[in-house]
Amino acid sequence: EAGVAQSPRYKIIEKRQSVAFWCNPISGHATLYWYQQILGQGPKLLIQFQNNGVVDDSQLPKDRFSAERLKGVDSTLKIQPAKLEDSAVYLCASSLGNLAETDTQYFGPGTRLTVL
Amino acid sequence: AQSVAQPEDQVNVAEGNPLTVKCTYSVSGNPYLFWYVQYPNRGLQFLLKYITGDNLVKGSYGFEAEFNKSQTSFHLKKPSALVSDSALYFCAVRDRGRDDKIIFGKGTRLHILP
């Protein structure tokens, strides 16, 4: 079974530039998550999709971050414009559903973003 | 509000010795609890979870964790450590019965010394 795919693996940009990350979840997984992991901290949930609908985006900085999951499969996360404090690893995860019994999340390798 | 604490930034254990990585939590209801491991340059991998039932949960790679409701803890354990267990370990909690997000601890780096 293929895992969660993310691209690119690394990205370096200047502040105020834009950047986009892509995620392809495990086939059949209804729930998709985007996390931000700053160095030395645990992952922080940015947004959670159930199929193509948003379940939770309470911690997404909506003035600069946006995400979409068209057709309930792939997802993109965009930052526009980027700030220095956005430097982090962006993790995508997927799970079968939103019940605890199926709530095991499977993570992609992440995208390491450096904002200069 | 729910929270999770991993009080140790780093744990050093000699190979072959038992290991424990500590985790305590705070939720308003009953918890779902998870352990994940992160190897360098890789995403998080699921180790085990407590949903209900037996307080001792067995997971991947010989790891286990014990849910202790009175102490609000979910410590990760392994009877005999391997050098390959060296990694970053994250505890996570979700409040059962509420539609709350999963909250991750800050992580504990485990060093297994040869």
Which pLDDT score, from 0 to 100, does residue B97 have?
A: 67
Cβ under 8 Å to B: A residues 57-76: 58-59
**Closest CB from A41, A100, A107 relative to B44:** A107
Which pLDDT score, from 0 to 100, does residue A106 have?
A: 92
End-to-end CA distance of chain A: 37
Are A108 and B43 inside 8 Å of each other by CB?
yes
Nearest residue to A16 (alpha-carbon basis) of A79, A81, A69 = A81
Cα A56 to Cα B71: distance, rounded to the nearest angstrom: 30
Which pLDDT score, from 0 to 100, does residue A103 have?
A: 74
Residue A25 has pLDDT above 80, yes or no: yes
Provide the percentage of residues in chain A whose pLDDT is more than 70: 95
Cα A14 to Cα A83: distance, rounded to the nearest angstrom: 8
Confidence of residue A52 (pLDDT cuts 50, 70, 90): confident
Is A110 an interface residue toward B (CB < 8 Å)?
yes
pLDDT beneath 50, residues of chain B: none
Count interface pairs A-B at CB distance under 8 A. Answer: 53
Nearest CA in chain A to B94: A100
